[in-house]
Each structure stands twice: as C-alpha cells, then as structure tokens.
Amino acid sequence: MEEFYTKEEQEEIQLQLNELIGACPKCLTDANQKLIVKAFKLADRAHKGIRRKSGEPYIFHPLAVARIVAEEIGLGTKGVVAALLHDVVEDTDYTVEDISTMFSPKIASIVDGLTKLEVFFDNTESKQAENFRKLLLSMVEDVRVILIKLADRLHNMRTLDSMPENKRLKIAGETLYIYAPLAHRLGLYAIKTELEDLSLKYEHPNVYDDISKKIVESSLRQLNSINEFSAPIKEKLTEAGYKFEIKGRPKSIYSIWSKMQKKDLPFEEIYDVLAIRIVFTPLPGMSEKTQCWTIYSMITDIYKPKPDRLRDWISVPKANGYEALHATFMSSHGNWVEVQIRSERMDEIAEKGFAAHWKYKENSDKESELDNWLKRIRELLENPDDDSLEFLDDFKLNLFASEIVVFTPKGDKITMPNGATALDMAFEIHSDLGYRCIGAKVNYKLVPLSYKLKSGDQVEILTSKKQTPKWEWFDFVTTAKAKARIKQAFRKERKKFIGKGEKILEKYLTEKKLAINSKILRKLQTHYNAKNKDELYFKIGKGIIDLKDASKVLSDKPYNKWVRYWKLSFGFGKEGNKPKVDKKKPLLLTDDKEQHNFTIANCCHPIPGDDVIAYQDDDDNLILHSRNCKVAIKLMSSHGDRIIPAQWESQKILSYIAVIKITGIDSLGIVSKLTKVISDDQNVNMRSIHVESHDGIFEGLIHIYIHHTKDLNNLILKLMKIKGIHTVIRQERQNSK
C-alpha cells in the first residue's frame, strides 16, 4: 500500500475501514469483521494504482459505497462485502468465479448482478437500458443488488463535481429518471431525496443555489415558528407519558422546485417548506395505529386541522411499506404547518426502507406490497421480446410515485398507480379476468374499460366468455402488467404479422434498389410512430401502415426519434460540412448564421437564458432541449452518450417564441393596455393574443418573439404593474409524456 498512497492517504483509508466496521451493527462478530477486511484487501489489491477523476485513490469509492450500504441502508455482512467488491469484476482481471471461490457463491452472484454487460449492441439499442435490465434481473433474485447499486449511484452523485459536464448531465438525467424513483419505490426516502437534490444541482445549478440560499435565509424564522408551534404539543405528550422526539423536517430543494414548477408559484408562496415529525416510543397495551390517532387527537385540541390535508398511511400503508399519519394544522400565527406522526418502527422503515422492512417482516407471514411489486417486476422481465428502451418505459410505469387504493366488491384492497383504468385493475387481479373484461361497475355505476379509477372506488369487473383481447386496449391501459399481458395475447399473431411485414418492406426496398439497415429503419420508425422495428414490421404486415409515401420519407433528412422540431438554422450546406462537436465542451449557441448548427425541440421550446442541453441524433443534427424537459430527461437516461452541454452566448439578432399566461379582473380596455405595454417594448414582438373572459375574470395566452429570458422577465414585471392583473407567468410547453 505504501508505494501507491501518501502517508495521509494511508491513514485516511485505514480510518474509513475502521469506521465502516463500526457503522455496521450486523458485522460485530470476529468472523464477519475478518470477512470485511478480506474483501477490503482484495478490492485494494485489485484497484491498486487507480485513481478517480478527482485524483483520490479508487479504493475510497468502494469504501464509501460499503459505508452507505451499512449505515444508511442497514444491510449486513454479505451486503457490505459485495459493496466493497462491486467494481472488482467489471474493472479488473478478477472473475465472478474468483469471487465465488474466495468468498461465497451468494456474494459472487450479487457482484455479478452489479457488473455491467460486456457485449456489443446494435445502434438501435441503448446500452444504458440494457445494463439496467440486467441489473433488475439480478434484483428479483436478490434485492441487495439494487440496494448496493443505489448506494453506488449516491456516492457517484456526491462526487460528480470532478466529471466533465456532458457526463454530469448524463448521470444526473439517468438518476432523476430511474434511480430516484426506484429509491422511492423501495422506501429509501432519505436517499431518494438526496438523489433528486443532487440531480437538480447539476442540471439547474443556478436554481439550486437560489433555492438553497432562500431556505437558509428563511430557516431561522421558520425554526422559531416551529419551536413555538411544538411547545404545547411537547407539553401534552409528556403529560400523557410518551417518550418522543420532535424535529423539524425541511422540505427538499427538489420538492420545493417541483412544486414551484407545477403550481407556478414563487418560493415565498410554498407554505410547507418546513414541517415537524413526531417519532414516539409506543406505550404498552395499545396498538401503534391507535396511538398515532391518539396523538393526532391531542394536537387537534391545540390547533385546528386542515380537513383536506389528512393522509392516513397507517390504515393503508403506501405500496413501498411507508406508514405514517400526515396532517396539516393552522398555527397561532396563521401559518399552515404539516405534522407527521410515526412510531419508532415506522420511522426506521421510512428511513431505511426495504432493509428495515425485512427486519420487521420476520415475525409476519403476510405478503407485503413490496413483495407484490417484486413479483410484478419478475413478470415484466419474463417478456424477452421487448427491446431495451421499451422495457425501460414499461419499468418506469412500475415506479409510480403517486398511487391510489381501490377495493373489490368483497372489500379487498388493491394498490394501483394514479391514472389506472378499470381494465388495468382487471389485469392486476388476474390475466384471464383482463382478457374477458367487457366493462366494470364503479361504486355501482356502469363504466367502460377505459374509465380512470379514483382512490376509494369500489370496483366490480364485468366479464364475458365471448370477449377476446383487443389490440386497441393498448392505447388506454397504463400499467406494465396490462401492457405485457396484451402483448402476450397477440404474440403468436404478432410474430406472423412481423414476418409478413418484414418481407413486404424488403420487397419494397429492393424495388427502390435499397436494403434494410438501421438508418432506414430509424427513419421509418420515426415517421410511422413505431417504437421499434418489430412494431414497424407488425403495422406493415397488418396493413396499418401503407408504404406509398415511404419513398418521400427515405429521401428527406431524418429527424429526432422522440420529437419533431422546427429549424432555426439556414442549413448546414453539404452533408459532410457539419461541424464536429467536442462533447466534453459546452456547445456555444450564437447568433452567427454560419455557426448556427442547432434546432429547437418542439416539446419544450427553450429560449436564450434557459438551462439547455443538446442531443445529437443519428445524422449528427443537434436538437436543443430545456434541461427539465421530460423528453430530455429520458434521453439522458437512455442515450446519455449523445448528450452535449450547451450554453447561450449573446442573443440580439434572432428571436425565439415564448408564451405567457395572464389572469386578472376583466375590465374595459384591459386588452389594449396589455398590447400597448408589449408593443412599447423594443425587445419584444407579439405574434398572437387570445383572451377569454368569464364571471368577471379573464385568462389570456400571448405568443411573443423575444431574444432572451431577461427580456421576458422584464416584460412580465411591466405587465404585472397594470391595474387588475393578478398573475403573469411563462407557459411551459411539454407535449411529451
């Protein structure tokens, strides 16, 4: 070790190892500690001489991941050992067989699940999505695989500063799209929150810094209010004989930003930035559930509750095992304060998720929602026909953060994602029920298959022996299970039409003196809105697609698979003259027509001043997206190697379209006042205005041409000064799902 590390590094490595062993309450026996030291020595030997981008010895990374696994997730010795070894097979000459011989087949299996694929991929596939699929295959066999992967991702996000910006964007986008929702689904709230905050930090650094600063500025004031609010509650609980802890629960930076975006509110109007959490030791002789409601009742004796903000996740826990009682109360100063009430057991499950869930499950034979979720993932992985990107989309459906609870006619509870239909519920109960479903009764009223369910609905599925699956069902089902079962029903027929469609396309292209290749397939998939080549062949074979206009498609310049966009540039000249792009450096977006080599994505219409990224398509065209665009986040998670950081330079010549939404009190001449302010602005031109008035209130949408977000913000401030105007906000346009 002396050859490769400085004295300070040697001391720090030893300190980290000692702290790791101390942080693992399940690793206290001599045998367990020897196993951890053995794994550390192998990892240190395997990674000898390797340093991370930050310059520190590589061994710091597996040590940090193992500590997260032990301390923040709560895994035992095997999990810690696998975490120490998680990069050994992937990055060094050691094999899975070596790990199995030196440790155990189980530890080797976990390490294998954490090792990326080494095969080469067709250009139409996504390496990121394929690696994720392999990870999940290992997860359903041993959930520790995904827990260690989340720890690995968390440490990578904590140390992302040393990576080039294009890699930062790729990793942050992937984290926000898949890993943060996955942490949420596994009940790891602290990790989910930190992953979201760190993703925001690297995707929108200015927004992150601004909200962080405002939280710090308001925290002392908020803390004083919380202490004052908590004082009478503490007194009441102490009188009742409870041992408890009350602590402030600051809202995460990402959740504040997300609420600001969804509700078009400034930071100052997000009222529940800080809340309190009551964690109590249950008194003997009474159930935890009863005691949660007792504490809630005590608080209602002091403060008035907000009726529509009571969330009972004790009677009906969340699908990820989360239990708590959430309520919002009016303080004596006229502010709403959220209160979370949990027992110590509930708190541990909320903080450590799956690992704590298994600890408390040992005394129960009851199958949990987490068990059911793992079953659904296993079923999803059983369909080998899906390509990796389609699989990623279907898996994302199983990561629903928002869920509803519905009931069968006998009162059995079923948890479904928000937006699920009656047909989704039929498939959730049993595949045959889904295949024979003709409708449903919701709260005793007849509804169609496509009816969207609401939380609390009682649903009776109606069936007929004559009913057969319909391909059109695919258009309105939302759950991955329903989609997989519909595909399965049509698999034999689908294969026949796929073969037929491939022959039709091959014959057509032969007549045009062309051959099937990935480039041609991508053009046709984009034009005919097919997710992959099999869907394209299927639609051709079934007669849904007529190839009569295909020659025009094949002669046109291709465009991005996910979005249509409009050109800003005046052309690249000859195909070979497109400038080469260094993905490690930000793409500079200028007014120079000769260098103007990008297009604006129609899904989000970014304008100068927005945080943006560029996506490089198959023909090296650069499509500009806003960084918080849903399409962009998906692209970063599945095609991260094509993402290029971009930044605006001075924009004074070209104008970009933006939409502002205005609300206010309707009055005579209000429209002329609006148009006068806009026309008087030298940096803004108006394209169109649409105003509707009802019951003395008006709403208007104005399309304008501007050079920069600064001009837009200045205009918004001017419009807000008009008497009677209530709100003026930029309308974000997101056409994608």
Pick from 434-443, 512-521, 605-614: least confident: 512-521
pLDDT the model gives residue 565:
34
* Closest C-alpha to 186, from 369, 455, 397: 369
Tell me the mean pLDDT in the region 657-671: 87
Confidence of residue 436 (pLDDT cuts 50, 70, 90): very high
- The architecture CATH gives domain 7-203: Orthogonal Bundle (1.10)
Q: Can you tell me the distance from the alpha carbon of 729 to that of 206, in angstroms, rounded to the nearest whole number? A: 19
- In sequence order, what DSSP letters do the residues of 56-111 get, joined into one string? SBTTHHHHHHHHIIIIII---HHHHHHHHTTTHHHHSS--HHHHHHHT-HHHHHHH
- In sequence order, what DSSP letters do the residues of 302-330 get, joined into one string? TSEE-GGG-EETTTS--TTS---EEEEEE
Residue 231 in this model has a pLDDT that exceeds 90: yes
* Residue spans in the chain of domains classed CATH 3.30.70.260: 656-730
Q: Can you tell me the distance from the alpha carbon of 114 to that of 136, in angstroms, rounded to the nearest whole number? A: 10
Please count the other Cβ atoms lying within 10 Å of the Cβ belonging to residue 333.
Answer: 9
pLDDT in tens, 39-60: 999 999 999 888 888 889 999 9
Confidence of residue 570 (pLDDT cuts 50, 70, 90): very low
pLDDT the model gives residue 564:
33
Torsion sign, CA atoms 219, 222, 228, 231: negative
pLDDT the model gives residue 202:
92
Whether 91 is catalytic is yes
Residue 427 in this model has a pLDDT that exceeds 90: yes
Q: What is the dihedral of CA 555, 558, 562, 563, to 10 degrees?
A: -90
pLDDT the model gives residue 241:
93
Phi, psi of 142, rounded to the nearest 5 degrees:
-150, 110
pLDDT in tens, 97-131: 999 999 999 999 989 888 864 433 344 455 666 67
DSSP 179: I
Tokens 């991702």 correspond to what residue?
153
Pick from 60-64, 274-278, 619-623: least confident: 619-623
Query: Considering the domain 656-730 in this protein, what is its CATH number?
Result: 3.30.70.260
Instruction: Specify the fold of 212-361.
Output: Beta Polymerase; domain 2 (3.30.460)
Tokens 């099999």 correspond to what residue?
534
Pick from 88-97, 307-316, 509-518, 538-547: least confident: 509-518
* Residue spans in the chain of domains classed CATH 3.30.460.10: 212-361
pLDDT the model gives residue 335:
80
Catalytic residue among 9, 19, 91, 344: 91
Please count the other Cβ atoms lying within 10 Å of the Cβ belonging to residue 549.
Answer: 11
pLDDT the model gives residue 689:
87
**Rg of the chain's alpha carbons, rounded to an integer?**
29
Residue 734 in this model has a pLDDT that exceeds 70: no
Name the range with the highest mean pLDDT among 314-328, 383-397, 419-433, 702-716: 419-433
Confidence of residue 574 (pLDDT cuts 50, 70, 90): very low
pLDDT the model gives residue 360:
56
Q: Residue 239: exposed, middle, or buried by beta-carbon count in 10 A (0-12, 13-18, 19+)? A: exposed
Q: What is the mean pLDDT of the chain?
A: 81
Whether 194 is catalytic is no
* Residue spans in the chain of domains classed CATH 3.10.20.30: 369-489
CA distances from 289 to 263, 294, 362 (A): 33, 9, 20
Q: Are 601 and 573 in contact (CB under 8 A)?
A: no
> What are the DSSP E strand ranges found in 194-261?
243-250
Three-class secondary structure of residue 490 per DSSP = coil
What does pTM read for this prediction? 0.72
User: Tokens in use for 45?
Assistant: 């030997």
For 421-462, give the secondary structure using H, E and C.
EHHHHHHHHCHHHHHCEEEEEECCEEECCCCECCCCCEEEEE
Name the range with the highest mean pLDDT among 18-22, 354-358, 556-560, 644-648: 18-22
pLDDT in tens, 293-307: 999 999 999 999 998
pLDDT the model gives residue 655:
78
Name the range with the highest mean pLDDT among 153-157, 570-574, 622-626: 153-157
Tell me the mean pLDDT in the region 320-345: 89
Report the share of the chain in percent with pLDDT over 90: 28
- Residue 234 or residue 707, greater confidence: 234
* One-letter identity of residue 610: D
Q: Can you tell me the distance from the alpha carbon of 389 to that of 133, in angstroms, rounded to the nearest whole number? A: 10
pLDDT the model gives residue 121:
39
Catalytic residue among 9, 56, 90, 125: 90
> What are the DSSP E strand ranges found in 331-375?
336-343
pLDDT in tens, 362-403: 555 455 556 666 666 666 665 555 555 566 666 666 665 577
* Residue spans in the chain of domains classed CATH 1.10.3210.10: 7-203
Pick from 256-265, 280-289, 670-679: least confident: 256-265
Is CATH 3.10.20.30 the right assignment for the domain spanning 369-489? yes
pLDDT the model gives residue 225:
82
